[in-house]
Structure 1
Amino acid sequence: MTTTSFSSSVPIVIAPTTTTTTTTTSSSSSSTITSRIIYTPPPPSQISTSVSSTTSITFPSQPARLSCARQGYLVQNFNWFVVEIATGNTVQNGTIQGGVPMQAMGYNRCDGLIYATDQEAHLVRFGLDLTPQRLYEQTFFRYQTGEVDNDCQYWAIRTADNDVARWIHVDVNPASPVYGSIVGQGELAVPQYFYADWAYVPGAGSYLWSVGIDQPTANAYLYRFDQATLTSVIVASFGDIGLVDSQPDPASGYRLNFGAVYASADGYLYGSENISGNIYRFTVTAPYNWQFLVRGPGTVQNDGARCIDNTEAIGTY
């Protein structure tokens, strides 16, 4: 039994509940993206109190680490795969225990675990045995986009709704005295072009990067979520990247989307588009290039994660 305690004698994060509104205009798009932030947390505050109560997160065990591999990790519903990103070759390596589909995955470099959101809207973690452990018993939103950044912070967002996009930030650094605490939650205007996964790219700033697709034209756009200002903007248009022939019938309810994206230590973003199976490499700094790599297997329900500390070359281009 592993218990993580938040004692009143250790630093805790204080977050005000004031509501603010910010507006950001993307220079590469004519649209204006308005962000309504429920609250913006300040830096952690040191406080002391004589109250003796303690809040705990209790886990049945500490999972064994997943390796910091060159390959990416991929989940399709609850089936678990290892994927060679450069070739699209996937090998099933187990099944998520409990049979509940997973989304919004991120690999945590600090403990070697995957953090994710399950279909029942629980925040979970799991390791080598693929047995999910809930961080909270309460449910949140069914986030479909997630990542654990370089500072071992879990960021997830749901952009699939029509009214608003909802994000959450959770401290999952096992060395933190407030491990498992919610650092922030908020709302954004729904992105103009739907994106379904994001990744922290080493060397590219404190951002989470994603690729959105305009459904009528199949054109692709590079998005950047700023972890400081908590806003999402379009930073580049990639235009036609070869997805026009893969557009699904609108009546099917499916849409083009990069359901699994991965980052590499040398500063690239890799993405696997669900419907076509096309895998690309994107440059997230000017001049914002893209490169088609290979056609992998298509899917309608997947998510990806990768260890950003692995320095092996993903492929030779």
Structure 2
Amino acid sequence: MSQFIRILFLVSLLFSSKLLADPFDTCPSKAYLFQGNPVAVYGVNLVTGSYSVLQSDTGLNANINGVGFDEEDRYIYGFDTTNYNVVRLGENFQATTLSVSGLPASTTFYIGDVYEHYYYIYRKGSGFYKIDLSPLDSNVSAALTAELITSTTSVSLTDFAFHPDNDHLYGVDNGSGWLYEFDINTGVSTYIGDTGETGTFGAMYFDVDGYLYLSRNQDGQVYRVDLSTQAIIDSGVVPAVKFADGPFSSQNDGARCANAPLIDTDEPATIDFGDAPDSYGTTLNSNGARHEMDEVTWLGSSVDGDYLAAQSPDSDDSITSDDEDGVGFVTALEPGLDSVIAITASTSGYLSAWFDWNDDGDFADEGEQVITDRALVAGINSVIITVPFGATVGDTWSRFRFSQQTGLAYYGGSTSGEVEDHIATVVAANTTQRHFPSASGYVTLAYEDNWPETADYDMNDLVLRYRITEVLKDGLVAKVTISGQLVAVGASYHSGFAVRLSGINDELIDSTKTQLYHNTVLQGSDPQESDMSEASFILINDAIDVSSYECSYFRTQNDCRENVGLEFELNFSFTAPIATASMPAMPYDPFLFATPGYYHGPSFAQAPGRSYEVHLADQAPTESFDTNFFTLAQDTSDPSSDRYFKTINNMPWALLIYDEWQWPRERVDLTTAYPDFADYTTSGGISNTDWYDNSNAVDNKYY
């Protein structure tokens, strides 16, 4: 019997400690997120979005929603949606079920908050209730009564929160993104304005300054709405601005002590802010760039925290240690030219960077993000940026953000890494540009990949839009950009696309500044061909591969009308600027080659690979070409007379057209789609010079 009494006493002690769980010691700055079924409780740093599990077992095998923090007794109250009960949780996040009458039976409430010792809960179509919590002050087992405020509840919410400076509740309608204010005495909802964001905002919080935070279930993104003054609320201008990234869940609710600041400055600084003037987004009030120090990810030799967000002329270097040492400008920033920047990273991660090129005090203008999610390795990384041709000469600001996260903006929170802001100087340079065919236009390059046979001669096996921009410094060519689009691949043979600069030695190319982008993504391999004495660059190694189309012939037949498959951009600079007279005439030498390892027609006993090329008419091939291929099948090339890649009737296997030309459909002969082309070639280009115009095409024969 004594053993039984002892066990009963221990069980009673455990049960009592659970019922009488201690309240929170203070009004905490952390936000609490309740997710899942059974529920887990997360602590969320709204400043950076970092989070951690605080309690995975609340003692209930249930979901808890509609939670709110009571600043008077410092408990969290919520609704057990599984068992239809009101519960209370203390600092250990163990749930105590309360005795409450007056609520509709078997009804879940997902929306709740606490204000002046009353728990308010809401459900569209079921009602808006308040529960006086003061009886619990003397007896945790006290019977509570839910008082109906109104049964007319029509706004679609998944949470709401009390403003710290007035007695109103605020919530966002999930479908419309509209912000509503609720009168707690009548339950009347008033439309305030459009936040511009939609989704299931399962958790909403306020901070002491009157900012409302919305945590979206679908992606965990945290948005901030400025409701800091009555004037702003009355204006109805209440955009939701991305603030940080947090955890996501299909079942999501949050509680927070609204009168607590977001940052507890009594604790050691663990967040790094930028140093630029606040017009760039630096302080917390302006949703400035900030990173939680993860003890792994930083720029330079170290990082230290800075809760004050010291701005120029001060910096966090002047507050603690000199930690703004991760970015080094190796070459000058000159309008229109490329610049090398050395980035020192503590570990692998992702870098994004911005420059205020027009010196207007922000990083918001088009083209001011110069690096996006560039993967870095531990140590020194060399990155190249292009200074816009119209960049303002003089001092300006730059921002570099290094993190384990991707998708960061120049503002907002990050769970890891460091932000460094640096003054950058754009120096005057005598630079000009010249374009082929124009600053915004393209020529069309079209290739038939059956050379040396004419075969179907539909001239759509590789079709590209093509443009060249040369940057001249002091009248000499210093940099070249070749850009364009892959617009059609009507081929079963695998082919690539390259450009040679005839007469330009390969050693004249500055390999440290050569970059190739596919759809704005920097390609890892060096595009310059290493075994060529003349400078030559591979822009596309396999057109079938990079176009990523699902149909058989990309954009050459009606059932394959997809978007452009690839946009490309090649940037390269010379070790020393070159006289314009020494440069090859634009368009240089763009050519098709056979992708190595693939069959390329019956004229070849084995895969010809890089030794197979197709150039514009009368353009000599590169040194990699196998001259034994000349005069096979219908080819009549004769190097002794500078005749290349033409049939006996002067029909070429490659075209350059000064227009955004529409190519023939799949297996439609070029002379069938554009009948005047035959006379144009036989006349040596004298007659029918407008053969390529759509007005001279046969209907339904071109794409």
Give yes or no for contact 1:110–1:174 (8 Å, CA) kept in 2: no
Partner of 1:129: 92
TM-fit CA distance, 1:59:
9.8
Task: Check whether the contact 2:130–2:146 (CA below 8 A) recurs between aligned residues.
Answer: yes
Q: What displacement does 1:137 show?
A: 6.4
Distance 2:153 2:157 in 1: 13
Q: Tell me which residue corresponds to 1:280.
A: 223
Contact 2:217 2:249 survives alignment (8 Å): yes
Contact 2:123–2:153 under 8 Å retained in 1: no
Q: Which residue of 1 aligns with 2:182?
A: 225
Which structure's relative contact order is higher, taking Cα pairs within 8 Å and 6+ residues apart?
A: 1
What is the distance in 2 between the residues matched to 1:137 and 1:291?
39
The answer (yes or no) to whether the contact 1:170–1:180 under 8 Å persists in 2 is no
Matched, 1:290 2:290: no
Any idea what the Cα deviations from partners look like across 1:50-81, whole Å, max 9, x if unmatched? xxxxxxxx997422112421110111121011
Matches of 2:117 and 2:100 in 1, distance apart? 22
Counting matched residue pairs gives: 234
- Give 1:311's aligned amino acid: P
CA pair 60-311 structure 1, distance change in 2 beyond 3 A: closer
Tell me the equivalent position of 1:70. 29
- CA spacing shift, 1:73–1:213, aligned 2, 3 Å: same
Change in 2 beyond 3 A, CA 1:275/1:264: same
Residue identity opposite 1:64 in structure 2: D
Q: Whose strand fraction is larger, Structure 1's or Structure 2's?
A: 1
Segments of 5+ residues of structure 2 without an aligned counterpart are 1-15, 228-232, 265-282, 288-703
Question: Contact 2:158–2:202 at 8 Å: present in 1 too?
Answer: yes
How many Å separate the matches in 2 of 1:65 and 1:137? Answer: 20
1:114 aligns with 2:114: no
Unaligned ranges ≥5, structure 1? 1-57, 244-255
Distance change >3 Å, CA 85–CA 311, structure 1 → 2:
closer
**Map of 2:378 onto structure 1:** none
Structure 1 distance, partners of 2:78, 2:225, is 24
Q: In the TM superposition, what are the counterparts of 1:175-214 in structure 2 within 5 Å?
A: 181-182=144-145, 184-185=147-148, 186-191=150-155, 194-203=156-165, 205-214=166-175
- Give me the TM-score of the superposition, normalised by structure 1: 0.67
Deviation at 1:182, TM superposition (A): 2.7
Superimposed CA distance per residue, residues 73-107 of structure 1 (whole angstroms, 9 cap, x where no aligned partner): 11112101100112221100112112211000001
Check conservation: 1:70, 1:310, Cα contact below 8 A: yes
Distance 2:18 2:91 in 1: 15
Following superposition, the deviation at residue 183 of structure 1 comes to 5.5
Q: Which amino acid aligns with 1:190?
A: S
Q: Is the 8 A contact 2:225 2:238 kept in 1?
A: yes
* Aligned-pair CA distance for 1:294: 2.2
- 1:124-175 Cα offsets, whole Å, 9 max, x none, are 11112322222216674311000001x121101123xxxx142210011368
After superposition, what is the alpha-carbon deviation per residue over 1:158-197, rounded to whole angstroms, capped at 9, x for unaligned? 23xxxx1422100113687997643521312422xx2101
Q: Contact 1:110–1:173 (CA<8 Å) still a contact in 2?
A: no
* RMSD (Å) for aligned C-alpha atoms: 2.6
Question: How far apart in 2 are the matches of 1:176 and 1:69?
Answer: 21
- Tell me the secondary structure at the aligned position of residue 188 of structure 1: coil
Distance in structure 2 (CA, Å) of the matches to 1:181 and 1:84: 33
Contact persistence 1:59–1:133 (CA under 8 A): no
- Look up the SS of the partner of 1:155 in the other structure: strand
- Maintained 8 Å contact 1:145/1:196: yes
Task: Give the match for residue 148 of structure 1.
Answer: 114
Higher helix share: 2
Deviation at 1:235, TM superposition (A): 1.6
Specify which of 95, 108, 123 is matched with residue 158 of structure 1.
123
CA distance in 2, matches of 1:291, 1:173: 37
1:237 alignment partner in structure 2 = 194
SS at match of 2:108: coil
Letter of the structure 2 residue corresponding to residue 128 of structure 1: E
Q: Who is 2:52 aligned against?
A: 91
**In the TM superposition, what whole-angstrom CA distance separates every residue of 1:219-275 from its partner, at most 9, and x where no partner exists?**
411011111222123221223x3x5xxxxxxxxxxxx31000111111111010111
- TM-score normalised per structure 2: 0.31
Partner Cα separation in structure 2 for residue 127 and residue 260 of structure 1: 19
In structure 2, distance between residues paired with 1:172 and 1:59: 20
Distance 1:313 1:235, change over 3 A: same
Closer/same/farther in 2, CA of residues 174 and 308 from structure 1, 3 Å limit: farther
1:47-58 alignment runs, 5 A limit: none
Q: 1:282 to 1:165 in 2, by over 3 A?
A: farther
Counterpart Cα distance in 2 of 1:94 and 1:59: 17
| Structure 1 residues 121 and 281: alpha-carbon distance in aligned structure 2, compared to 1, 3 A threshold | same
Q: Is the 8 A contact 1:80 1:92 kept in 2?
A: yes
String of CA shifts for 1:271-310, please: whole Å, max 9, x gaps.
1011122211112323323321123232100110001231
* Alpha-carbon distance in 2 for matches of 1:84, 1:176: 30
| TM-superposed deviation, 1:312 | 4.5
Native 8 Å contact 1:76 1:301 kept in 2: yes
Distance 1:292 1:170 in 2: 34
Code of the aligned partner of 2:194: S
**Do 2:29 and 2:263's aligned partners in 1 also have CA atoms closer than 8 Å?**
yes
